[in-house]
Amino acid sequence: MKLKNKEVENLVFRSYLEEIMHKKKFLKMNRYVQHGNTSCLLHSIAVAYYSYRFSKFLKIKVHEKELIRGALLHDYFLYDWHAKYNPSKNVGKHGFIHPKIALFNAYRDFNINTIEADIIKKHMFPLTFEAPKYKESIIVCLVDKVCSLYEVFNKNAYAHITKEVITTKKERRVVARRLNPYY
């Protein structure tokens, strides 16, 4: 059986996704809302998936592993940013400070390299002043903004992603679990 390009690409995406989804700490992102009804976990998977698809669509040669892993961890800040008292309140506004918190957490929990770190640290550009250095960081910075807007206006965002790349029962259960605001 011959696989189509997109099927092969989805398998590549899945292999990197699986590697990170095995870490329980990464799944903690499912506890927090990003925009609308979308959890930080699903938001991050979507940003990674569309960053990857975008690079394929435009035939941009990228470091695929770094692009996907960096995007998966770009919002790995691990708190509810909507809560009145959240950890970022002590140090600055969430929009400015969360890339640094996500980077700190990613260094602590994952073995990230320079490109992955740049993706995480600079994804909020131009709100944060340092411009992305690598094409992988630029792609994630752009796709993150489009995904964020989409989530604000769609209550059931990314149902198709769940079908295409979140394929095991266990993963589906994790992603579909109801967000618990009291964690």
The position carrying tokens 């941009």 is: 60
For residue 144, state whether it binds Fe ion (rule: CB under 5 A): yes
Non-local (6+) Cβ contacts of 52 within 8 A are 9, 13, 64, 67, 68, 71
Residue 13's nearest CA partner among 60, 48, 47 is 48
Number of other residues whose CB lies within 10 A of the CB of residue 66: 22
Beta strands in the chain (DSSP E): 33-35, 38-39
Q: Which stretch binds Fe ion (CB under 5 A): 84-92, 137-145, 163-171, 174-182?
A: 137-145
Assess contact for 15 and 68: CB atoms under 8 A.
no
For residue 75, state whether it binds Fe ion (rule: CB under 5 A): yes
CB of 140 to Fe ion, least distance (A): 8
CB of 142 to Fe ion, least distance (A): 11
CB of 98 to Fe ion, least distance (A): 6
Q: Which stretch binds Fe ion (CB under 5 A): 48-56, 57-65, 73-81, 173-181?
A: 73-81
CB of 75 to Fe ion, least distance (A): 4
For residue 80, state whether it binds Fe ion (rule: CB under 5 A): no
How many of the chain's residues bind Fe ion (CB under 5 A)?
2
β-partners of residue 39 are 33
118 vs 144, beta carbon nearer Fe ion: 144
Interacting residues toward Fe ion by CB under 5 A: 75, 144
